[in-house]
Structure 1
Amino acid sequence: MARPSKAPERRAELIEVARQAVLDRGVLNLRLRDVAEGAGLSPGSVLYYFPTLADLLQEVQREAVARFCSAREQAAGTKTKPSDRLLAMIRSGLPTGPDDELCVLLYELGTIARRDPAYAARHITLYEQQVGIYTGILEAGAATGEFTLTAEPVSIARNLVALEDGYGLHLTQAVPTMETATAEAMLLSYARTATSNPLEDRP
């Protein structure tokens, strides 16, 4: 009887090692040898599972995007009122600071998206998924009368995601230019204006 293949486990291990290597070294300084050494393998052995370093990093990106979107969907999904869902969505999208591993990972991998269409496509998917969640919340709030929107739902949603991305870059710098609470307050200020709703926490 043939032994079960260990390839899936080895691939998963290499993805995890590469994820940590991106966080430790940054994408621009990362070499195939760094991943190989972290996994206790030769560079050639890594290439047996992933034809190139770019292929391996695409898997790191895919996993990071899935985790980030899932976490945001879950945060919003725990609430029922559109205003509460919007609050939860806003608070789930900002990095906690330079040590927020998932957000830092996404920003690091985003540098490759400027040059590689495959990475760009996944970042577009990440953006559109977040816009979709926001749009659904805004449409629900408008339908129930809880929100009086000052623009089309998708336009407000795109602005919210763009603001998150911009503030997130400031929050994840080695020396952050603002605190997460400040960025959240500015996002909420825009959201309150855009929805004509105070978006206050309820007991």
Structure 2
Amino acid sequence: MPRPSRAHHRRGELVAAARQAVLDRGVLGLRLRDVADKADMSPGSVLYYFPTLDDLLYEVQRDAVERFCVDREEAARHETDPRRKLVRTIKAGLPSGKDDELCVLLYELGAYARRTPAYAAEHIRLYERQAGLYTAILETGAATGVFALTRDAATIARGLVALEDGLGLHITQAVPTFTPSAAEAMLIAYAADATRCELDV
């Protein structure tokens, strides 16, 4: 009886090794050898499972996008008050600090979106999924009379995502004036103005 293939397991190990290599070295100048060393494999063995380094890093990006989105959606899933749901969603979207693994991965690998369609598609999926999450919260709040939106929900949602992306990048780059708590306060203030609703809940 033939033994079951270990290909799926080995691919998972390589994705984990590539993820750690990006966290340790950054994506610029990352070499196939760096990932191979992390996985205790030869570069040729890595290429057996992933034809190029870009193919492997795409899997790292895809996994990071999915984990980030699921974690964020879960953060406020069972909250019924639109105000608390909005605040919890804001808090869940910001890096915890400069060493926040998921956010560092997303910002590092986002650089590939400028030149590689597959990476760009994941980057767009991440943005749209987050904007959709905010839009649903804002529309529910407006429909129940809790929020009095200053713009349409989609416009406010896209502004929130753009702001948190910029603030998150500053946090992961360790800009001293942008701490997680300061960024959170700025986003909540913007959301409060955009919804005409006090959000100190």
Into which bin does the TM-score normalised by the smaller protein fall?
over 0.9
TM-score by length of 1: 0.97
TM-score by length of 2: 0.98
Deviation digits for residues 28-84 of structure 1, max 9, x if unmatched? Answer: 121001111111111110000001000000000000000000011001203111111
| Overall identity of the aligned pairs, in % | 66
Equivalence map 1:176-195=2 (5 Å): 176-195=176-195
Structure 2 gap ranges (5+): none
- Does residue 172 in structure 1 map to residue 175 in structure 2? no
- Does residue 78 in structure 1 map to residue 69 in structure 2? no
Structure 1 gap ranges (5+): none
Residue of structure 1 in register with 2:154 after alignment: 154
Q: Which runs of 4+ in 1 moved over 6 A?
A: none
Partners of 1:165 and 1:174 in 2: how far apart? 14
Residue of structure 1 in register with 2:46 after alignment: 46
Deviation digits for residues 71-98 of structure 1, max 9, x if unmatched? Answer: 1100120311111110110000111111
**What SS is found at the alignment partner of 2:93?**
coil
Partners of 1:189 and 1:197 in 2: how far apart? 10
How many residue pairs get aligned? The number is 201
Partners of 1:132 and 1:115 in 2: how far apart? 25
Deviation digits for residues 146-179 of structure 1, max 9, x if unmatched? Answer: 1010000000000000000010111011444321
Task: After superposing the two structures, state which structure 1 stretch, 74-83 or 53-62, moved more.
Answer: 74-83
Kindly tell me: are residues 138 and 42 of structure 1, through their superposed partners in 2, closer, same or farther at Cα, counting changes over 3 Å?
A: same
| Paired amino acid for 2:57 | L
CA RMSD between the two structures: 0.9
Partners of 2:197 and 2:20 in 1: how far apart? 41
| Paired amino acid for 2:13 | E
